Every structure is written in C-alpha cells, then in structure tokens.
Structure 1
Amino acid sequence: MVFSWRKKKPRSFNGDKKKELEIPRHFLCPITLDLMKDPVTLSSGITYDRESIEKWLDDGNFTCPVSNQVLRSFDQIPNHSLRKMIQDWCVENRSYGVERIPTPRIPVSSAEVSEVLFSIMDSTRRLDQCACLDSLHKLKKWGLESERNKRCMVANAAAAGAIAAAFDAFAGESVDKNINVLEEILFVINWMFPLTEQAQLYIGSQASLHCIALFLKSEDLSLKQNAITVLAELLSCNQKYTQALTTIDGINKTLFHFINKPICPSITKPSLTLIYDIVSLSNENTTTEFINMGLIPLLLEIMIDSQKAICEKALALIDQLCETEQGRGFAYDDALAMPVLVKKILRVSELATEYSVSAIWKLSKGDEKALMEALQFGAFQKLLLLIQVGCNDKTKEKATELLKLLNPYRPGLECIDSLDFKNIKRSF
C-alpha cells in the first residue's frame, strides 16, 4: 500500500541567507513532512505531530502509519525531549525566518471534563452562579485551545444535558440576576450539537425559550448568533418545540426583523429556517401574521442576489407560503414573483430547482394569467431543459404537468432570453 503523505517534499525555510535551510528529518512529522509542533510517540515507538496522528486515528485507522503495525493502544505520549530540541533549533535559526514553536498545552482528559461537569451540576442544584461560572470558564478555555478538547467534552455523554439543565435552572430563577452565567452557558452549548434528548428537554422549557428570545434582542452580536443557532438546532432535533416557541410574545416579529434588516448570514440563515419550521407546523393565523408583515415580497427581493444557502431557504419558505390561498394571492400581486421563480429553476442547486418548480406549479394551477406570465419569462424552455438534464421524480412530475398547462398558450406569447441557456452544465 502506498501512502500519499510519503510523496510530499519536506518543508524548508528561505531567509536572507543565500542557501536554503533544511529541517533535520527527525524534526519532521512522518505524515505531513512539516516541522512538528507537538511531537507525541505511539505504542509502535514512532513519533508524530499530535494533530496529524489524531486525524489519522479519527479517520478510523488503527495502525501506525509508518510501520503499519497494529497499535496496542491509542495513547499518545508527549515527546518532551524532541520538542525541546525542535524549539532550540528554531531559536538557533531565527535568521532564516524560523519562528520558535510555542510549548503546547496539555490536552484535556475525559476525567477532567467529568470533574468540571460534576461541579456544574452541583452549583446548579445550589443555584450558585459564581461556582458555575468558574466551571464554565474552564470548559470555554479548553474548547478554545483546540478542537481535540472540544471533541473530548462533546464525547462525554452527560455534557450537553448538564449544561442545558444549568441553563434551565438559572433562567427559571431570574434572567436579569443570572445573565452572566446564562450567556456563558449559551456559548458553550453551541459546541454540544446535536443536542441529546435530555438537553432538548431543558432547552425547550418555557423558562429557557423565554430567556433565548430575550437574548435575540440583545445588542451583542455574538449573543444573538449563539441564541438563534441554539433555537434552530432545537427545532431541527425535535419540532414539537415549535408550538412552544410561537407562544412567546414578539418572537415572530423578531425573526422577521432579522430577515428585513439582515445583520450577517449566520443570523439570516437560521432565521429563515426557524420561520419555515413555524409556518410549516403552526396554525393558519401564524402564517397570516408573517404574510401580513410583508414576508413574501421581502423573500423575493432577497433571492435576486443572495448566496446559495440563503436562496434555498427563501425558496423553501416561498413554496410553503404558497400552500395557502392568501400566500398565493400576495405572490400573484408581486411583479417579482414569477420572473424570480423562473430564473431560479436552473443554476442554483437541485434543492432550489425543486422549490422553484413547486412554487410555480402552485401559482399556475388554474390561473391563466400566471401561466401566460410564466411563459413570457421563459418557463417552458427551462422546464423542458430541466427534464432533459434530469431531476428528482417529484420535480419531474410537476414540471411535466406545467409543460402541459403552458403549451396551449405558447403561440404568440413565449419570450425567451437566449442568454439564460448558454453554457448550462448538467447539475444533477
């Protein structure tokens, strides 16, 4: 077996000197052939850079990359003497542009994580904000140090539940009094996705949801992002919490505001997802509220020039709103609706195509004016091309039905922009 990492040329440094500086071979990681920053030795006796060998093991390998020997254990013993030699070599060759590698922090252990989680549970029972904050700061510090530390925390089965329980308890006592600890919990719990059932139960409580809704109105951008990301994760795990969310006063207006006055994509995308979940699962009054706010024209405007992920979510929401008679009525009255939907049939993604065709299908069924408008914007040719290049069965069925509905109106009405069909690549 040939390993691709063996083909990489060892890294060297070029400084102001005329000759090139070669790195001693025993300072190089056998996997990446880069200078080791945190050398660790496996049970096979071979030393690697910690980050490289961890990725190797995380990918499901159980052998030593160099010797191909089956590892007796996955323990990684820090090679302090080699690391010190590398650091000394870096200092000696500063004139070549070599920077001294920092002394690596010792990775957190599962036992340390368990100890801190026990402290969080204990301080939660006593509603001791200061003690809980101290424990949360340890978790936050570890997580920010390395991805490995994050994985170690997430791997603890009790982590998400313990942190979510703390959020519910402190939010239930008083948001104003416990705001500091609640903000820290919300930051850390963003590392715990997907949420366990126990964590969902605590985050989905009325106290927790009201607290998160308050944080959505905060001036702190990071807090807004953490809050809306947790909400989107909760509903993606279990949509039964959608109804509880809609009972919170002002939540619909807050989410609409995030779309109407976009701050950043990391807030816009989950906002669209949350509105879609609410509209899909709530009663007609909730859908009517969003429509009356002006959601349909706003979504159409967003789709004109937006990134793929936002365009897909906006199209999904338009398609869902067109399920109702009121939604279709607002779309009929908007001059942008048909041209934008027809334009998005191709060149965005398979998902965008599915939602575009579905929305046009809902708008055009039994409506002569909508059919003629779709023709004028080139829908017939695009639908025909879509069937030729391929799409999923559900989209193909709707596209075929639309072609049959459009065909009688073609003579004298069809207007095709040929530029739309140049260089189209098969995307499915």
Structure 2
Amino acid sequence: MSMIFLWRRRRAGHGGARKDECLDMELSIPTHFHCPISLDLMKDPVTLRTGITYDRESIEKWIDAGNKTCPVTNQVLRSFDQIPNHTIRKMIQDWCVENKAYGIERIPTPRIPITPYDVLEICSTIEASRQHDAKKCLDLVRKMKNLAKESERNKRCVVQNGAGCALAACFELFASFSIEEYTDLLKEILSALAWTFPLGEKGKSKLGSAISLRCIALFLKGEDLSSRKHAILVLKELVSVDQSFVNSLMEIEGIVEALFQIVKLPICPTATKACLVVIYHMTLSENSEMITLKFVEIGLIPCILEILVDGDKSICQKSLGILDSISSRDQGREGLYKNALTMPLLVKKILRVSDTATQFVVSILRKLCMGENENAVVEVMQLGAFEKLLVLLQVGCGERTKSKVTELLKLMNLYKDELECFASSAGFKFLKRSN
C-alpha cells in the first residue's frame, strides 16, 4: 500500500502559458514511511520487539486500549518497550527535505519521552537534596513540570511513578521550616500536586498533616489567584478520599470564609467545582451543624442559588448536593425559606439537569415541606411541582426517590382543594396523608 500527496505547482511562464495555469502532480510516500495503524507519515517511529515499526502515538493508543498483541504480526507482546527507530526517522526527514519544493514540511526530531527510571531518579534527587538546597528542589520540581507538559504520556509516567508522594513530603518539610522563606518553592510544589494524584498512603499522610493543611489554607486565603486555584484543587482531592482530612481542615481558622470567597468571586469553573466539593464534604461531617451555621451566616445560600440559575450540569449537581446537606439542619432550612429564589429554582431543576440533580431537588423539597409547612407546600404547588413530580413517577426513578416523591404528593394533596390551579387534580384523592 502506498500513500499519495496531491499538490499544485505553478508552471514557468514561457511559451505563452497563462500565469494562473497549474499542473497537478502526485507524490507517493514510500510504504515503509507510514504507520501500519494510522496509515499516516510517521513523526516518531518506534519499533516493538516483534520488529515492526509504528508511530509512537498510534502504538501507545493501541496498548493503552488494553491490546497486548502486535497489530501487524498478532504476536503476544511480552514487553511493551518501544525502541526509537532513528534510521527510519532520519530517512523520513531527508525525504521531507528533498520534497520541500512540493510543499512537504520537514518533520521535527521528536523529544524522547521520559521513562519510569527518569521519574524515580528525579524523585530520589528531591528526597536527597530537600533538606539542604531549596533552590535545587525548585529546579527539580520545575523540570518535572516541564517534562509533564511535553505530552500526556510523560504526565502519566510522572504520576504513576511516585512523583506525588515525593512532592507531598517535600511540601510538608519546607512548610515546617518557614512558609514565608520558601513561598516560591511551596507554590511550585502545590501547582504540581494539583495533577499528581493519587499520592498513595504516605503521600496523603504528608499532605494531609496539620502543617501541610495550614500552609495550603494560607495560600487559599492569599491574593495569588493561581495559588488559590491549586490550593482548592489539592484540597478537593484530599477530602474526597478521607473524611479525617475534612475534620482537620475544619479546625483551621478562616477556612469557611476562604472557601466562600472562591464561590462568591469565581477564579475559574474548575476551581468553583472543586470548592463546591470541599464545602459539600464539610457539610456532611460530624460537626456539620456548626459549619452549616457558619456558611448560612456568611451568605452561602444566596450565593449557591445564584450560580444555580445558569450553572452547567456539574455545577448544578454539586450546588444542589450542598443545599440538600444544608437543608438537613434547622439553620439551613431557615436560610432557604428566606430566599425568594429557593422554590422557583428547585422546581425548575426537576427533570431539567440530570437524574442526580432531580434526586437532590426531591430530597430538599421534602425537607422544606416537612411538618406540613403550609407556605412552602402551597408555593411549590403554585410553581407546578405537583405535575412535575407526577411526571417523575411516570418516567421512573430510584426507590428512595420514588418514596420521597410519593410522600410529597400525599402532603400536597391536602392543599389541592385550596388552589384553583389544581381543580383538575381530583383524580388523585387516593393520595393519603403520610404518617
């Protein structure tokens, strides 16, 4: 099989030929220059133990997809080593240069991807030098980040070979020395930690220590937007894997205010989502009553309701999760009752965002209407909640949600005769008041 380039070259203007006259020509790519998988000209040819050469990107996608055989020979690969084929790469580059006049661009010499050994060597050097040379540590962290930026493959290699654990240990150590003196190094490590999860047990214990958490919180409360973003991303990863980190975080003075500021004055959607996750876990903690009161007093509920208005699916789900958690407390329900946006937004989100969002809405409405809160029940009925909940039963939902929906409908049925808009609901008299 051969591949063909088609290009146009302007003919010399002799013999009366028109200036715009063009000549179509075909250029064949030598068969051994194209990848057997993608059929494209290889940019970074590598050879497997089977002797077949592929473009590195194509064969890596093949292997990452779970394939364990050579695509051409179908032999089982006992090793996934990819040896750079410098001979073929040089031949391809020379061919590109020879055909430059026909619009062929020379393929640049690819960077050699890092290996697990390279990552382990950097990590061990960080371990050896961190107690003596902060500048050397800073250079190594930057080197690691630059290598990871070169390709997704490099980034995966860095993450999978213990970089996060080494960085977490380094972060804790220098934070214990002096945050002010080593601010630049700590910020650089924090920016790398934001994408090096999972850390392993040792890494989590180092980054989740009281010293490390206080340092992260300090950056979270600072003015540097980039550091605030990295801080909240790291906190999100920590609290998502271990509830004990949530409890430690809640003991830090000013953490509630710092989190609230990220929601109130967004840095970016990624930071907002991470912050919502942290707040959600905090409101689910053992000491959630005190935390809920703080968040309510500081104005979190109006802020959450505002971002619910036009938030995307992910933000809506996380925001509704927080409201569901908050509504379990008296202070939370009181704050929701006081806001005019609460009921209209909740009813609007039923069946509009996702199954998860709808489940949260049903749970919140049930809590707000508990105890036969007449004002709440009447308001949601006037907003069309009764019909939407009936539709939800028809389209189907989980058993727990179905039970809550039925309970809400029974409660609303007590007030339907008082509302003209529900005159047509007489057919639902079988819905009895729940005990």
User: Same fold by TM (over 0.5)?
Assistant: yes
Distance, in Å, in 1 between the alignment partners of 2:381 and 2:356 is 22
Distance, in Å, in 1 between the alignment partners of 2:128 and 2:169 is 11
Q: Which residue of 2 aligns with 1:277?
A: 281
Change (3 A) 1:64 1:279: same
The code of the aligned residue for 1:338 comes to M
Distance, in Å, in 1 between the alignment partners of 2:357 and 2:103 is 49
CA contact (8 A) 2:317 2:357 kept: yes
Change (3 A) 1:310 1:22: farther
Task: State the aligned residue count.
Answer: 407
Q: Does 1:249 align with 2:250?
A: no
Name structure 1 gaps, 5 residues minimum.
1-5, 417-428
Instruction: Point out the more displaced range, 10-19 or 24-33.
Output: 10-19
Q: Does 1:353 align with 2:350?
A: no
Distance, in Å, in 1 between the alignment partners of 2:204 and 2:318 is 24
Q: Which residue of 2 aligns with 1:148?
A: 153
The code of the aligned residue for 1:277 comes to H
Q: Does 1:52 align with 2:58?
A: yes
> Cα RMSD over matched residues?
2.1
Distance, in Å, in 2 between the alignment partners of 1:58 and 1:100 is 29
Distance, in Å, in 1 between the alignment partners of 2:358 and 2:26 is 54
CA contact (8 A) 2:336 2:342 kept: yes
CA contact (8 A) 1:44 1:69 kept: yes
Change (3 A) 1:294 1:162: same
User: Which of residues 76, 86, 92 is equivalent to 1:70?
Assistant: 76
Distance, in Å, in 2 between the alignment partners of 1:123 and 1:229 is 27
TM-superposed CA distance for 1:12, in Å, is 4.6
CA contact (8 A) 1:375 1:414 kept: no
TM-superposed CA distance for 1:14, in Å, is 4.9
CA contact (8 A) 1:376 1:414 kept: no
Cα deviation, 1:63-119, whole Å, max 9, x if unaligned, reads: 111221222422211111111122223333445543322211112122222221111
Cα deviation, 1:202-258, whole Å, max 9, x if unaligned, reads: 111122112111222344333222111111001111110112112222111111011
Which secondary structure state, in structure 2, belongs to the residue aligned with residue 18 of structure 1? Answer: strand
Q: Which residue of 2 aligns with 1:100?
A: 106
Distance, in Å, in 2 between the alignment partners of 1:148 and 1:54 is 9
Distance, in Å, in 2 between the alignment partners of 1:42 and 1:180 is 43
Change (3 A) 1:271 1:13: farther
Distance, in Å, in 2 between the alignment partners of 1:234 and 1:346 is 32
Which secondary structure state, in structure 1, belongs to the residue aligned with residue 414 of structure 2? Answer: helix
Q: Which residue of 2 aligns with 1:198?
A: 202
Distance, in Å, in 2 between the alignment partners of 1:155 and 1:112 is 12
Change (3 A) 1:216 1:297: same
CA contact (8 A) 1:256 1:295 kept: yes
CA contact (8 A) 2:4 2:26 kept: no
Larger radius of gyration: 2
Q: Does 1:306 align with 2:308?
A: no
TM-superposed CA distance for 1:20, in Å, is 5.3
Q: Which residue of 2 aligns with 1:212?
A: 216
Q: TM-score, normalised by structure 1?
A: 0.90
Mapping for residues 264-413 of structure 1, pairs under 5 Å: 264-281=268-285, 282-365=287-370, 366-411=372-417, 413=419
Q: Does 1:82 align with 2:85?
A: no
Change (3 A) 1:14 1:390: farther
TM-superposed CA distance for 1:29, in Å, is 1.4
TM-superposed CA distance for 1:48, in Å, is 0.6
Q: Does 1:180 align with 2:174?
A: no
CA contact (8 A) 2:70 2:77 kept: yes
Q: Which residue of 2 aligns with 1:30?
A: 36
Name structure 2 gaps, 5 residues minimum.
10-22, 423-435
CA contact (8 A) 2:148 2:155 kept: yes
TM-superposed CA distance for 1:51, in Å, is 1.3
Change (3 A) 1:97 1:410: farther
Distance, in Å, in 2 between the alignment partners of 1:13 and 1:271 is 53
The code of the aligned residue for 1:107 comes to P
TM-superposed CA distance for 1:337, in Å, is 0.7
Distance, in Å, in 2 between the alignment partners of 1:15 and 1:193 is 51
Instruction: Point out the more displaced range, 291-300 or 275-284.
Output: 275-284
The code of the aligned residue for 2:367 comes to K
TM-superposed CA distance for 1:15, in Å, is 5.9
Q: TM-score, normalised by structure 2?
A: 0.88
Distance, in Å, in 2 between the alignment partners of 1:15 and 1:187 is 49
TM-superposed CA distance for 1:387, in Å, is 1.3
Q: Which residue of 1 aligns with 2:144?
A: 139
Distance, in Å, in 1 between the alignment partners of 2:193 and 2:391 is 46
Distance, in Å, in 2 between the alignment partners of 1:10 and 1:197 is 52
Q: Which residue of 2 aligns with 1:222?
A: 226
